[in-house]
Amino acid sequence: MRIVEAPTHLHFGSLRIEPAVVLAPMAGVTDTVFRRFIRRFSGCGVIMTEFTSSHGVVANHAGPHAKPRRTPFNYLYYEPDEHPIIAQLFGADPQVLADAARIVEDLGFDGVDMNFGCPVKKVVKCNGGSGLLRDLPLVERILKAVRAAVSIPFTCKFRTGWDAKSIVVTQMGRIAEDCGLQGVSLHGRTRQQGYGGRSDWDRIAELKQAVSIPVLGNGDVFSPEDCIRMFCHTGCDGVMIGRAASTNPWIFRQIQQYIATGEYERPTERQRYELLRDYYRTLLADAHKISGSPLGKMKQFATYFTRGMRDGSQLRKRIHRSTSTAQVLDRVEECLAERMARAA
């Protein structure tokens, strides 16, 4: 018996998403290694790639004889066990985005998502991400071009507007629906807010009332309780989780436990150490499948995975002072041994 009421699934066209909880696309985070850890812990209905430059995809695509599941920069590399998986693109040129979407479809992705939400200055400067919220006619041209180019489910993610004086929630939702998209995701902040302030869940509820296609809510969901509150407050069809997943990959499983029983398991200290160690080992084994320096990734994820860990700050310091990947692994093993010895 379900203890907490929440949607069990949703559909983006032919794509069934079950459970109705989604991993958000996060630059520098949601590469194939991290996504497979999310899959390992279960409870996530669909995962998304890092957002990827449409110009980069088109300019570097190896053509029709390219190996399956590989694209430029490895941003769109994925393994078969990651399905269902959606690729997210960004850009501002309708034709280039349409061409990139065709490549995504050829690579076997289950869907393609368009990014109208990224607030990063260098992306916005090129009129990408949330910069496009200032040009809704261009948004419409982009959506029509991409929709005509692919047959796989097509969705988009956006923010509430450029700033508090230019909210475009309803307009964006209706444009997406009119252009034939199968779903939309809304981060309840403006571009001006970045990741500060609070996510306005009322805007997500407003979007849900304005369109008939599925709506995913995003922003300030850091616990299973937050997820259920968002469902109840907004009436959304699904919840998208970003930053919370980077520090607590168990959150998707916890949400399903909470829905089923009203309670959920929290990871032990040992499980947290083992997560960090296993992530590092997998990262080194699959370094050729991702972008960026393995050592840099290790230090980045030390910041994420040690959050809330007892003596986590000390472990972070040891890792950040390390000068090689082998040294990082040694530091984690040492700290785990020290922790287990004290607990004995």
DSSP letter string, 169-215: HHHHHHHHHHTT-SEEEEESS-TTTTT-S---HHHHHHHHHH-SS-E
pLDDT attached to residue 62: 55
Q: Are 70 and 106 in contact (CB under 8 A)?
A: no
Q: Above pLDDT 70, what percent of the chain?
A: 95
- The closest alpha carbon to 82, from 19, 37, 15, 120, belongs to 37
How far is residue 1's CA from residue 26's CA, in Å, rounded to a whole number? 34
Write out residues in the chain with pLDDT < 50, as ranges.
Answer: 64-72
Residue 49 sits at φ, ψ, to 5 deg, of -75, 175
How far is residue 145's CA from residue 12's CA, in Å, rounded to a whole number? 19
How far is residue 279's CA from residue 328's CA, in Å, rounded to a whole number? 12
pLDDT attached to residue 69: 43
Give residue limits of the domains in the chain: 10-261, 269-343
pLDDT attached to residue 288: 87
Residues with active-site annotation: 118
Strands (E), the chain: 10-12, 15-17, 21-23, 47-53, 85-90, 111-116, 154-159, 183-187, 215-218, 238-241
DSSP-based three-state secondary structure for 158: strand
pTM of the model: 0.93
User: How far from 111 is each of 66, 89, 181, CA to CA, in Å?
Assistant: 20, 11, 11
Domain 10-261 classification at class level: alpha beta
How far is residue 241's CA from residue 14's CA, in Å, rounded to a whole number? 22
Residue type, 312: G
pLDDT attached to residue 65: 46
pLDDT of 48-100, one tens digit each? Answer: 999 999 998 998 775 544 444 444 457 899 999 999 999 999 999 999 999 99
